[in-house]
Chain A
């Protein structure tokens, strides 16, 4: 069997997941992006998934942003991040009056190596763009939209923070498909922290906290499920949307999203100390809270 991979193939991945021929690019609710050269690294639109409207947001690693030269290979630059945020806010607007169980799902297809590292980006505040996209997703999630991220390629650092980590649930193809989930490669971590690379590699077999890869992220409660094959992506996304809807209809928002994954981290023991800190802090807070409430 050949080395199969979807790295760089965001648009292919969309087609594998959605109902055939249902993708309307650049259209989300009232939004119609006319300028095709706006944020070309980001693909947004509306599709049908199992018969219902979903918003799709993906990376196009084949695109080059002519206006912002650091943006290519799937990098999320300022235009890309704001375009993605537009897709989310317009999803919220379109379903404003719908009940929770009818809010359209948002499917994030993740293959991005990072955010735009450039001088113009710093001058104009790249951090605002990524922050915008994150906040829009958090808002959509809390309003009831089921948000599923499907990691098909690279899910790296700040780009994964905005395009993926705010989802209700995160799925990923396993390492065999060249997926990369990390803050930075172990070689860079070793160099910057002045640690021995072999030592880090050895340690990462028992402690998933800095190692790269879907299985490590799984242990940390960084993603909900590893999807073993391409042809399982569609059905898994659909079933997870259902699961998320059940949680939200029952008002159990804390079981999804970053906080839900925090709970998974404790359960799977990859992030065991986190919950101890939170528990201890609650105790200390409880013992003085009244003093501050009745000041």
Chain B
């Protein structure tokens, strides 16, 4: 396993799930649960003749950021597209549950628990959603995760981090949207339906899945940043993500609610206004929407380097 210091400078996009998990918390603090040593691989894949992985494609555990216990879930996109099956799903669900249990225990022992000690959860999403080989189990796990996320509200902040190759799609796109805070790099993608499926549905004329620039304009980090579907956009190193997480966890739990995009009547009412805009505009490309929000030369944003982009970009003016 790579050296923690080396990991900090590494590309987040190129890092494995385990490297991300290790690198996003303080040096030497990560304890992995259900690690490869436990050999809890999928019970369903072998009979289908599919290769298994000891960790079932997801790394979970706990580390520290300062004095704060930080539970980490990190998905491995190289293993069956980071898709969620029975074992991986259970690891993800239970990590959030353990964080909430730890909070409840700490709060019971110390009603004046300082914010700096409040446990947090970081999820490094890299997934297409449900693993089809274990379809129903994967689907049920998604529902359990959403349930745990609601349990965590007001108790344990959940920070979604998206900057890996496969992006975050399918049912996990709903889960990511439901977290408190989302941090992306321009290389991350977030949505529901993957580009190939849209091409299948609408035809290549309408949406060419092979057009990388189009794909990133539709669901990539820069677009999500403009739409305020992600809170922060950072550069593609583990350190950049880690620094942003460290900043975010300083925010009080009440202020965290203010960073959400969904999860309350007010937020739904605001999102409905955005959908009204979608209905009115019927945009053929995200660039139309970028222009609508005040970006005069939207076509220049795609290739613009990070620092310049962050300086000039105009975002959707979120109300709540």
Direct contact of A and B (CB under 8 A): yes
Instruction: Please report A residues at the B interface, Cβ cutoff 8 Å.
Output: 67-68, 70, 78-79, 82, 85-86, 89-90, 93, 115, 117-132, 134-136, 138-139, 142, 157-158, 160-162, 165-166, 182-184, 189, 192-193, 195, 203, 207-211, 216-217, 220-222, 257-259, 261-262, 265, 271-278, 280-282, 284-285, 288-289, 292-293, 295
Instruction: Please report B residues at the A interface, Cβ cutoff 8 Å.
Output: 31, 33-34, 38, 40, 43-44, 47-48, 50, 60, 62, 64, 67-69, 86-87, 89-91, 93-95, 98, 102, 105-106, 117, 129-130, 132-144, 146-147, 149-151, 170-171, 173-178, 190-193, 197-198, 201-202, 206-207, 218-219, 223-224, 227, 229, 261-265, 267-269, 271-272, 274-275, 277-279, 282-283, 286, 289
For the A-B complex, the count of residue pairs with Cβ-Cβ distances under 8 Å equals 267
Q: Are A128 and B136 in contact (CB under 8 A)?
A: no
Chain B nearest CB: distance from A277 CB in Å? 4
Interfacial chain A residues near B171, Cβ < 8 Å: 157-158, 161
19 additional contacts, CB 8 Å, given A203-B47, A289-B102? A86-B269, A93-B265, A120-B283, A121-B192, A128-B229, A132-B263, A132-B271, A135-B146, A158-B174, A165-B142, A183-B136, A220-B137, A257-B147, A259-B147, A276-B40, A277-B34, A282-B98, A293-B105, A295-B64
Q: Are A125 and B202 in contact (CB under 8 A)?
A: no
- What separation, in Å, do the CA atoms of A85 and B263 have in the docked complex? 9
Smallest Cβ-Cβ distance to B119: which chain A residue: A292
Interfacial chain A residues near B91, Cβ < 8 Å: 277, 281
**Residue in B176, B178, B191, B272 whose CB lies within 8 Å of A126:** B191
Given contacts A161-B142, A271-B137, contact A128 B265 (CB under 8 A): no
Given contacts A78-B275, A93-B265, A125-B177, contact A182 B170 (CB under 8 A): no
**Residue in B140, B223, B272 whose CB lies within 8 Å of A82:** B272
Q: Are A134 and B178 in contact (CB under 8 A)?
A: yes
Chain A nearest CB: distance from B180 CB in Å? 12
A interface majority secondary structure: helix
Of the candidates A273, A275, A276, the one having the most CB atoms from chain B within 10 angstroms of its own CB is: A273
Can you sample 19 A-B contacts with CB below 8 Å? A82-B268, A86-B268, A122-B219, A123-B223, A123-B286, A128-B177, A135-B149, A138-B146, A139-B263, A157-B171, A193-B133, A207-B47, A259-B147, A261-B143, A274-B137, A281-B34, A282-B98, A288-B31, A295-B64
